[in-house]
Amino acid sequence: MRLHFLTFARRLLAVALATTCAASTAWAAPFEVAIMPSRFELSAKSGVRLGQSLDIHNVGNTVTEVSVRTLDWSYSAEGEIAYLDPLQPGSCRPWVTLERKTVKVPARGKAGFRFQIDPPANAPRGECRFMLAIEGVEPAYQAAIAQGGASLSLPVSGRIAVAVYVLLNGAEPKLALSQVGMREVRGQRTPYVTVSNTGDAHGRLEGSLDATDAAGKTFEMVPEGTPVMPGQTRLISLLPKGEAGGKAAAPPAYPLKASGTLDWEKGGFKVNAEFR
């Protein structure tokens, strides 16, 4: 789905600002950067070079310099992401070549950035995954801590991490939906479906369900757009579809009934359930 650029930029700005550390006594300049596309889902073959590019948009009023590097990462069954700088066992980051380490982006402008992936000829079938970390080069501010005559400067900057998935030699997900239920998410009752992935690549649920709640209100329910990694079983929340303009939907009145099809890359699941 394509997002209007301004809406997309606001969302990424929120992410960038959220990953900018700030002391309560100091002011930090915003990391006003947006990236398109927001992720890469690619197919490749062993021994064949794959080139890609992204656009770095500066939505601020001053020139911004950013650095680009790769990171390993993990995503737990509970939906927690971890960014890993040290090279992890089995990492495909050595296959990746970046065009350059830093990029200057003009005010209210954009800059292109290229990278390439070179799977070795003996690379087995599977999924290569890494993050492109776009980070501020100049500290947003300097926090001075004075103690015993010594001072320490703590540089603070923002980061946007762009996930790159490379499905090598035909790797693909294999999803199965086993049950539906209710759980507490951040203190709010939330419907979910249990999804397992026995394939060798990540998968995602899409599609929507037509729902009617206890007050007679009709609306659509959509699965959260997070991945199910190979070998994982995850509880995927079903959320009321937001309203036009990005406004969040009001919480439904339970019980509610929902039916429809939840799609994935290779098929779909028919759902007809009541959530209490």
pLDDT digits (tens, 9 = 90+) for 112-140: 999 999 999 999 999 999 999 999 886 54
pLDDT exceeds 50 at position 6 = no
pLDDT exceeds 70 at position 213 = yes
pLDDT at 244: 56
Lookup: tokens for 75: 């995503």
Q: Look at residue 198 and tell me if it is in a domain.
A: yes
pLDDT exceeds 80 at position 234 = yes
Q: Are residues 182 and 259 in the same domain?
A: yes
pLDDT at 157: 63
pLDDT at 248: 77
Q: What percent of the chain has pLDDT over 70?
A: 80
Please write down the long-range contacts of 245-254, taking CB distance under 8 Å and 24 or more positions apart.
Answer: 246/7, 249/219, 251/188, 252/211, 252/213, 252/214, 252/215, 252/217, 252/219, 253/213, 253/214, 253/215, 253/217, 254/182, 254/189, 254/213, 254/214
pLDDT at 243: 63
> What mean pLDDT comes out for the span 197-226?
96
Of 116, 136, 168, the residue at which a domain comes to its end is: 168
Flag the least confident range among 21-30, 155-164, 245-254, 262-271.
21-30
Its pTM stands at 0.82
Please write down the long-range contacts of 87-96, taking CB distance under 8 Å and 24 or more positions apart.
Answer: 91/130, 92/117, 92/119, 92/128, 92/129, 92/130, 92/166, 93/130, 95/119, 95/120, 95/123, 95/128, 96/70, 96/130
Number of domains in the chain: 2
Higher-pLDDT residue of 3 and 89 is 89
Q: What is the CATH number of the domain that holds 99?
A: 2.60.40.10
Average pLDDT, the chain: 85
d(CA 36, CA 49): 22
Q: Are residues 33 and 163 in the same domain?
A: yes
